[in-house]
Amino acid sequence: MYFQDRYLTGEQRMMRDTTRRYVDHVVIPFIQQNRMREWQMDPLDRLPPHILEQADAAGLRALGVPEQYGGIALDPSTQSQTLALIATEIARGESGLADKLVQNWKISVLIAQFAPKHLQEYWFTRYMSEPQFLMAHCLTEPRGASDRWLPYNVPEVNMDTKAVLDGDEWVINGRKQFISNGFDASLYVVYANTDDDVGMQQGTSSFLVPRETPGLEVTRCNETIGGRFMNNGEIVFDNCRVPADHLLVHNDALGKAGIYFRPGKVLVAAKSLGIGVGAYEETVAFVHERVQGGKAIIKHQAVALRIADMATRLEAVAALLRHAALAVDERSPDADALCNMVKVFASHEIVKVCQNAMELHGGYGAMLEVGIEKYMRDALINLHSDGTTDVSNFKIVKAMFPETAGKYAGAD
């Protein structure tokens, strides 16, 4: 099911097995024994330290960090495929935890590509020595999110967050919303407009901003229905000053961030798949154990048909996920379209898998202490994570038909 050995290298099988042991022995027992823990209103009390400490011990935090700083090097020719495999396994146990770690992986790759060597040395050394260290990618704003990723490359839709060079410092002002790891991150990659006269693609820069920087304030944790072990946050920048060398990419930050965005879509799909696999596995166990009419309910045709439907949807998602991840690794021309396709397809198919899981559990499917409803809540988050369905579909059409797809903003 979902990632067969025949698709994997020896290194990938080893990583998968290591991740699976961590999930089976650390993550799943914690979730099963602490069903109400995610509902604690103090976000910092939800995930106990040993979860990330054990992830660190298993090497799962080190992905994307250069080897010279103690990280684990991934083969570039299979990097997206490997990260998808690992993200699927972690999300099988807890999708919010997967999101915590995925952000760290993607941002590590971004920092390794664009940060000056002295900043890489400082931050990667600190990151590797602190198991609770999280990173956040600050792009979305209250007034503009997925809609900005339509062909809105005009000055009128530039980011509201601005950065201005003042001597040897950049001064950042603005607000970011719906930021993964935003509430408790120690380091932020922040996107801001640095040229009002051109479109978003040509006038957006990215900056490395430590949490303790004066003028950076984390104002809230966004309380979501699912993925609650990842603390999504809102951040305000009020004359926040960073040294000039904390600029990562000047004006072309969105174009250069393809190394973050394309694998990001794949990893959202991988997290969806992991949620679906978790729901499927628990449901298969339940229908074999639950007896009605004198026999296990798997022997009732109506139940068996639903199990077959769930398995088929999972295999279809896994197949498209492998195809999209391979396209990213090969830098194929169809990678952009496939990344958005698998993100949309996986999020919708896994909601259907989780609906079947809840219905096959009957009344137990809605009970917090049983935990099946959690899969549905977590799956629903991915419908809009990393882009809404409609915007993702617009991007698919734009990637497929760049010359004829409609333009959605600009002068009439």
Listed residues 226, 255, 284: the one ending a domain: 255
Which amino acid type is present at position 360?
A: L
| Predicted pLDDT at 95 | 97
Q: What angle (nearest 5°) sits at the alpha carbon of residue 304, between those of residues 300 and 308?
A: 175
Q: Do 119 and 238 fall within a single domain?
A: no
Q: Do 223 and 266 fall within a single domain?
A: no
| Predicted pLDDT at 23 | 98
- Which residues lie closer than 8 Å to 109 by C-beta, 6 or more apart? 64, 259, 260, 263
Q: Do 101 and 164 fall within a single domain?
A: no
Q: Do 214 and 226 fall within a single domain?
A: yes
C-alpha 351/C-alpha 336 separation (Å) is: 23
Which amino acid type is present at position 119?
A: L
In a domain, 409, yes or no: no
| Predicted pLDDT at 138 | 95
Q: Please tell me the pTM assigned to this model.
A: 0.94
Q: What angle (nearest 5°) sits at the alpha carbon of residue 256, between those of residues 251 and 262?
A: 140
SS3 for 224? coil
The CATH number of the domain holding residue 17 is: 1.10.540.10
Calculate the alpha carbon distances from 346 to 116, 156, 315, 333, 353 in Å: 37, 33, 11, 21, 10
Q: Do 50 and 109 fall within a single domain?
A: yes
Listed residues 255, 280, 298: the one ending a domain: 255
In a domain, 380, yes or no: yes
Structurally, how many domains does the chain consist of?
A: 3
| Predicted pLDDT at 286 | 97
3-state secondary structure 43-75: HHHCCCHHHHHHHHHCCCCCECCCHHHCCECCC
Q: Do 320 and 352 fall within a single domain?
A: yes
Phi and psi, residue 84, nearest 5°: -65, -40
Q: Do 177 and 228 fall within a single domain?
A: yes
Q: Do 287 and 213 fall within a single domain?
A: no
Tokens of 116: 């000056």
Which amino acid type is present at position 384?
A: H
Q: Which range marks the domain in which residue 272 is found?
A: 257-400
Q: Do 106 and 24 fall within a single domain?
A: yes
Listed residues 76, 99, 132: the one ending a domain: 132
In a domain, 107, yes or no: yes
Q: Do 382 and 265 fall within a single domain?
A: yes
| pLDDT per residue of the chain (412 residues) written in tens, 0 to 9 | 555 788 889 899 999 999 999 999 999 999 999 999 999 999 999 999 999 999 999 999 999 899 999 999 888 899 999 999 999 999 999 999 999 999 999 999 899 999 999 999 999 999 999 999 999 999 999 987 776 666 667 777 788 999 999 999 999 999 999 999 999 999 999 999 999 888 888 899 999 999 999 999 999 999 999 999 999 999 999 999 999 999 999 998 888 877 777 888 999 999 999 999 999 999 999 999 999 989 999 999 999 999 999 999 999 999 999 999 999 999 999 999 999 999 999 999 999 999 999 999 999 999 999 999 999 999 999 998 888 888 899 889 988 998 887 776 656 5
C-alpha 157/C-alpha 146 separation (Å) is: 12
In a domain, 411, yes or no: no
In a domain, 405, yes or no: no
Phi and psi, residue 81, nearest 5°: -65, -40
| Residue reference for tokens 């062909």 | 151
C-alpha 308/C-alpha 293 separation (Å) is: 21
